[in-house]
A = this chain, B = another copy of it.
């Protein structure tokens, strides 16, 4: 069927080793054989079977990319960045869509069957234990957007979620909001909990401030909208920190239903700064999470681990910053 090493060797009149060597970086071949081989390979249309070679080399260049955020548009950006960053380095993403399950066992088994060189868990909602399961199975792993504090056994790249919560609280307070609220992602997501913690920590320094909180069912437009609609049935706060831009946009939609103007009637600050938040019709004031840097750094880290799988675990934390748009009242 397809053309193999042997065919090329035969045509070029050399041994199979010679052919193998012309296709492996830094192997010893004379210019003469190399050119003979290359010509033969050319005419036969040969290209080496990466999977076969992985058998002996132990490297597949396959990287498992696991996620469960398929309803948050930010993830398209994340996907785009990841696939590109991996491709640029000659690595191949093998996707796992975890939409309905959070049990690592299956994914671990499957990814081991395919001998992935490493795994990237790209999710802010999966627990550290999920990533750790790969580590325990001997698979190098990076948890991007993961929780840093409590997972010393696994590489984590992302932001300090607690600090981002504080930052949001400070921002709302600086704008003079007196009754503020946290509208977070799903209660069991580490990111939602950490942001909550930071937010509360900061607010509690100011006893005069009234604070409330609630958690949406997941990081999605619908969940954000539903939660804000619920809040609007009672007495809403003056300003909200929504734990993610997509929640914010859902919340904005709820406000609009009630004829409320964001930034005027009710303040909203999000987190992520996704493309959509920049749209003029959205103009969301938000905390910028440096997605691109986080992803590049994650892939860098993956490469490091390919060289040294026992690399000492590390947390790479990137700072966030507030992006001023139109959904908070101006600072006084």
Contacts and interface: CB of A to CB of B under 8 A. Distances in A.
Interface of A: 1-2, 47-52, 54-55, 58, 60, 62, 65, 70-71, 73, 75-76, 79-80, 83-84, 87, 92-97, 99, 109-110, 112-115, 138, 221, 225, 252-253, 256-257, 275-276, 279-281
A319 to B, nearest CB: 26
A109 to B, nearest CB: 5
A70 B79 contact: yes
A125 to B, nearest CB: 15
A129 B70 CA distance: 31
Nearest to A84: B97
Contacts of A109: 47
Given A48-B113, A253-B279, 12 more contacts: A1-B138, A2-B138, A50-B113, A51-B55, A52-B55, A65-B95, A70-B76, A76-B76, A83-B95, A84-B99, A87-B97, A92-B110
How many of these chains are in the complex? 2
Contacts of A76: 70-71, 73, 75-76, 79
Contacts of A50: 113-115
A94 B225 CA distance: 34
* Shortest beta-carbon contacts, A-B, top 7: A83-B97, A70-B80, A50-B113, A76-B76, A253-B281, A51-B51, A93-B95
A124 to B, nearest CB: 16
Contact of A112 (B2, B65, B99): B2
Contacts of A2: 112, 138
Contact of A279 (B80, B83, B94, B221): B221
Contacts of A94: 62, 92-94
23 contacts: A2-B112, A2-B138, A47-B113, A49-B113, A49-B115, A51-B114, A52-B55, A65-B95, A70-B76, A70-B80, A71-B76, A71-B80, A75-B76, A79-B79, A80-B97, A83-B95, A84-B97, A87-B97, A92-B114, A95-B95, A221-B279, A225-B279, A253-B279
Contacts of A58: 1
Contacts of A257: 280
A112 B79 contact: no
A140 to B, nearest CB: 13
A8 to B, nearest CB: 15
